[in-house]
Amino acid sequence: MNTVSERLSEIKAKINEAEKKAGRELNSVKLLAVSKFHSEEAVMEAYRAGQFSFGENRVQEAYSKFSEVYKNTENVELHIIGQLQSNKVKKAVEIASFIESVDRLSLIKEIEKHAAAFNKNIKIFFEYHTGEDSKSGFESYELLKEAVQYCAEGNAPHIIPKGFMTMAPFTDDTEKVRASFVKMRETAENLKKEFPSLDLTELSMGMSGDFEIAIQEGSTEVRIGTAIFGERIYS
Ligand SMILES: *Cc1c(COP(=O)(O)O)cnc(C)c1O
């Protein structure tokens, strides 16, 4: 099992198995292929195997890689999933159709500013901090709610909120991982009720090491890197 295409089929089969086990509809969980630190060629290999949605966490890397990928593909969708500095927002809005790592109100205002300038609608997830040792995401329910409310009140017309994203703590303790996903799901349910005008149906949770638990807990999108593209080499 070592080509990207073989690994993709293997992971899809595992997602289907987890869906079945959780009593969920088949293919109700979307697969985002996280290609950070992997080449344009690796992305193209996945694309030729039928993968259209990709995740990247660094804007500069995503920008140079996907400027090329877009020239040779159709219907490719790029999601920014890493912490986003304000000075990178313009490029992020230009290259991506989705920003999953929205973790502060000021970022929403910055995204709206650039999306308006490009006359482009951009989909977002609100990222919530649910695990002890991860650092990203809104730190409290109050701050998260304030951001959702800001969008619900129509202050960011080029931003389309689609749901929430979270990262579980990096630990072998599966109960801690599960608790993090449960917290995200329950928080999302509360906010959906509070802001019924928004379409907050998506839950982006689960990575190579914990996607089966995430699917049991209601994930609608798993973000898988290593299990598709292999280990990342950080140089
Ligand atoms: C890198 C990354 C992933 C993918 O991680 P793997 O363990 O390689 O599957 C998922 N989500 C985010 C936010 C990431 O930065």
Domains of the chain (ranges; CATH) run 4-229 (3.20.20.10)
pLDDT classification of 132: cutoffs 50, 70, 90: confident
Q: Which atom of ligand 1 lies nearest, measured to the CA of 208?
A: 9
Helix (DSSP H) and strand (DSSP E) numbers for the chain: 9, 8
pLDDT tens profile 181-230: 999 999 999 999 999 999 999 999 999 999 999 999 999 999 999 999 99
Q: Output the average pLDDT for the chain.
A: 96
Work out the average pLDDT over 108-119: 98
What is the pLDDT at residue 135?
76
The residue that leads in pLDDT, 139 or 134, is 139
Q: Is the CB of 206 under 6 A from ligand 1?
A: no
What secondary structure does DSSP assign to 165-180, as a single string?
E----SSS-HHHHHHH
Name 112's Cβ contacts closer than 8 Å, sequence gap at least 6: 155, 156, 157, 158, 159
Can you tell me which atom of ligand 1 is nearest the CA of 211?
Answer: 9
* Per-residue pLDDT tens over the stretch 69-89: 999 999 999 999 999 999 999
| Contact 8 CB / ligand 1 (< 6 Å) | no
